Amino acid sequence: VRPTSPWLLSFVDALQAAGMQALPPRDLSSLSRTFGEFGFQPPPSWMADYLQCSQQLLHNFQAHELADLASGLTSMGVRPDAEWVSAFVQVTEARMPSFRARDLVVLAEAVSRLGVVPHQAWLHSLLHHTYSAMPQFRPQDLPALLASVVGLHSARAAAGSGSTDQEQRPGIQQGLQGLQAGTTGSSTTSTATSSSTTATASIMSESAPESRSGSAALEGPWMARFLSECHSKLPRFTAGGLATLLTAVAEAGVRPDTAWLHAYAEAACGKSQVLSAPDLASIACTLVLELGYVPTSPALREQLAAELRSKVLQLSNEQLACGLSALARLEGAAAKRELPAGTSSQQHAALQWPAAVLSDTRRRCPGLTARQVGEVMAAVVQLGLRPDRRWLQAFVSKVECELLAFDAGSMRPVVWALALLGQAAPLTERRAVVRILQRAAALAAQQASNGIEGPARASAHPAADAGHVRLTPSSAA
């Protein structure tokens, strides 16, 4: 039951009148957690008294009470001042060995969401204790843990290490090396850690993608053990949890090895029927486009493609462009579509799917961004679809009307698609196409003059320059 806001306001007024100084840490922590769950933020004057009381008693809080305290504050949208944060970081670093596995995740999430930039010794302590507790984490804890560690790592890296205090503290990589060498525990722990690191190190791919957050990829035994734990627990993940996990891995700038990705794809396909369309698209786009993995098993690849094909038109414009691109990669560039084995109704649906995609993308065309237009046009070509004249006119007109919105990157797939689509069907909008090509040439020249090379992804579009688009005789008339 959630009390009404007037009731909660009366409650906090009564607490303040009675004097919060008399409340023990257990009650202060419970208040923070409960208000956070209710999404209720008390008045500023009450919060100021509450933070002052809690700061004075921080050393008396139990580990789980500290985690609940910080978690509640973040859920309420409260941002304590620097003095409170400094005291909290100091206390939690000293108490870190007594935190349970779940409390470590709550703590990492809360500190990350509070926007705190912990010093390197605190972050090293978190890495050390979460490394030791890794087998105890539940599947739903693992994505949140990784996302929080990446966020804290990024904040720490952005803050730099200019101060003398920071320079004297061990760095993250030094801490990871310490874990790998087993220098932070007994000889028994050292042997176990070294053995675990050796057994799991191969799970890391040598080539990792650049992280979305811009931070360097977390490397070494911590990430290897994290991926190993995820691998062993993949069957226990929920459908939505699988999507969250892969997003967290990609944002960390890590590319697991092929065996891990294959096991992940199998787990995702096993839950594909209960995956929502957005979650399925997120998995397919991250797996295929961002991590560059296409299942080598024909059955697994077709299953993933079939599920994505059945749900792709339920996606938003942003996910549609990405989903079609992933589907194109799964099915092969411009490959001839074969009817899947199955009932006549399934085969009929497969026959109707290309027309449904073309109709839906033409309807959405006015609302697409410049980048999405290029991605959809390229995906249509790669899927081997054959758009009619009305589809071509809609997309050509869209590009022409918004030429200034296109940069070199978003224009490249447009030109590449026009080069191939113009050979399959007449481009009746000759003047519009000419203007598009002129704009593309100007953008390419500007990019060259600035000494900027095109993205590596352009290599997938060999005809992606203005000189390769040929107007058919019927379009030139």
pLDDT, tens digit, 9 for 90 and up, residues 189-203: 333 344 444 444 445
Cα gap 400→434, rounded to integer Å:
10
Cα gap 234→272, rounded to integer Å:
14
Position 50 scores a pLDDT of 94
Residues in the chain: 477
Position 217 scores a pLDDT of 41
pLDDT band at 261 (very low <50, low <70, confident <90, very high): very high
Residue 114, Cβ density class (10 Å: 0-12 exposed, 13-18 middle, ≥19 buried): middle
Cα gap 277→293, rounded to integer Å:
20
Position 334 scores a pLDDT of 34
What would the mean pLDDT of 54-72 be, rounded to a whole number?
94
Position 460 scores a pLDDT of 44
User: Is residue 425 predicted with pLDDT exceeding 80?
Assistant: no
What would the mean pLDDT of 224-246 be, rounded to a whole number?
95
What would the mean pLDDT of 350-372 be, rounded to a whole number?
92
What would the mean pLDDT of 308-337 be, rounded to a whole number?
83
Q: What is the mean pLDDT of the chain?
A: 81
What would the mean pLDDT of 74-82 be, rounded to a whole number?
91
User: Is residue 174 predicted with pLDDT exceeding 70?
Assistant: no
Which is more confident, 337 or 413?
413
Cα gap 418→432, rounded to integer Å:
12
Q: 15-24, 185-194, 295-304, 402-411: which has the minimum mean pLDDT?
A: 185-194
Position 424 scores a pLDDT of 52
Q: Which letter, b or e, does each residue of 385-414 get, where b requires 16 or more Cβ atoms within 10 Å of its Cβ?
A: bebeeebbbbbbebbbeebeebebbbbbbb
What would the mean pLDDT of 360-386 be, rounded to a whole number?
94
Percentage of residues in the chain having pLDDT higher than 70: 77
**What are the residues whose beta carbons fall under 8 Å from the beta carbon of 132, sequence distance 6 or more?**
none
What would the mean pLDDT of 79-86 be, rounded to a whole number?
91
Which is more confident, 423 or 26?
26
Position 106 scores a pLDDT of 94
CA 459 to chain centre: 25
Q: Which letter, b or e, does each residue of 334-343 get, where b requires 16 or more Cβ atoms within 10 Å of its Cβ?
A: eeeeeeeeee
